[in-house]
Amino acid sequence: MTRLPLRHPVIAAIIALGFSLLPLATDTTVAALPGLRAHFGVSISLAQLTLSVFMAAFAVSQLLYGPLSDRFGRRPILLGGLAVFLVASLACTLASSVEGLIVARFFQAVGCCAPTVIGRAIVRDVHGAEGTARMMAYISAGMSLLICLWPIIGGQLVQQFGWRAIFALHALVGGGMFAAAALLVTESNPHLNPAATEILRTLRNYGTLLADRRFVGYAACNAFTFGAIVSFLSAAPFVLIGRLGLAAWEFGLLLGLAIVGYVLGSLTTARLVTRIGIDRLLRAGTALGAAAGAGMFALALAGVHTVAAVMVPYFVFLLATGLNQPSAMAGAIGPFPRMAGTSSALLGFVQLASGASIGFLVGRLDHGTPVPMAAAIALCTLGVLASYYLIVRRGVRR
Rg (CA), the chain: 20
The pLDDT score that the predictor gives to residue 196 is: 75
Residue 319 has pLDDT above 90, yes or no: yes
**Could you tell me what percent of the chain has a pLDDT over 70?**
94
The domain that holds 21 is classified in CATH as 1.20.1250.20
Residue type for position 127: H
CB 14 within 8 A of CB 180: yes
The pLDDT score that the predictor gives to residue 23 is: 83
Of 216, 268, 140, 131, nearest to 388 by C-alpha is 216
pLDDT tens digits along 104-147: 999 999 999 899 889 888 888 887 765 777 787 778 777 777 77
Residue 192 domain-assigned? no
* Residues whose CB falls within 8 Å of the CB of residue 8, separated by 6 or more in sequence, listed in order: none
Rounded Cα distance between 350 and 63, Å, is 10
**Could you tell me what percent of the chain has a pLDDT over 90?**
30
The Cβ-side half-sphere exposure at 261, using a 13 Å CA radius, reads 21
pTM for this model (two decimals): 0.72
- Which residues span the domain enclosing 255? 9-184+200-397
pLDDT tens digits along 42-89: 877 787 788 878 888 888 888 888 888 888 888 999 999 999 999 999
Residue 347 has pLDDT above 90, yes or no: no
Averaged pLDDT, 353-361: 74
Residue 194 domain-assigned? no
Averaged pLDDT, 331-344: 76
The pLDDT score that the predictor gives to residue 300 is: 93
More confident: 344 or 320: 320
More confident: 270 or 383: 383
The pLDDT score that the predictor gives to residue 396 is: 53
Residue 2 domain-assigned? no
Query: In angstroms, how far is CA 274 from the centroid of its own chain?
Result: 24
> What pLDDT band is residue 172 in, cutting at 50, 70 and 90?
very high
Residue 64 domain-assigned? yes
Of 329, 249, 241, 335, nearest to 281 by C-alpha is 329
Residue 189 domain-assigned? no
Residue 363 domain-assigned? yes
pLDDT tens digits along 210-234: 888 888 999 999 999 989 988 888 7
Question: Kindly report the CA angle at 83 between 78 and 88, in degrees rounded to 5?
Answer: 125
What angle do helix axes 9-40 and 44-72 make, rounded to 10 degrees?
150
* Residues whose CB falls within 8 Å of the CB of residue 261, separated by 6 or more in sequence, listed in order: 315, 316, 317, 318, 319, 321, 322
Q: Please state the three-class secondary structure of 33-76 as a single string.
A: HHHHHHHHCCCHHHHHHHHHHHHHHHHHHHHHHHHHHHHHCHHH
Residue 112 domain-assigned? yes
Sign of CA dihedral 297, 312, 142, 156: positive
pLDDT tens digits along 237-290: 888 887 888 887 788 788 888 888 988 898 888 788 778 888 888 999 999 999
Rounded Cα distance between 167 and 155, Å, is 13
Residue 95 domain-assigned? yes
CB 28 within 8 A of CB 153: yes
Residue 177 has pLDDT above 60, yes or no: yes
Of 262, 362, 358, nearest to 317 by C-alpha is 262
> What pLDDT band is residue 393 in, cutting at 50, 70 and 90?
confident
CB 231 within 8 A of CB 358: yes
* Residues whose CB falls within 8 Å of the CB of residue 347, separated by 6 or more in sequence, listed in order: 120, 215, 218, 219, 222, 329, 332, 333
The pLDDT score that the predictor gives to residue 179 is: 93
Rounded Cα distance between 273 and 271, Å, is 6
> What pLDDT band is residue 368 in, cutting at 50, 70 and 90?
low
> What pLDDT band is residue 201 in, cutting at 50, 70 and 90?
confident
The neighbour count for residue 294, using CB atoms within 10 Å, is 16
Q: How many domains in the chain?
A: 1
Sign of CA dihedral 359, 362, 366, 372: negative
More confident: 212 or 353: 212
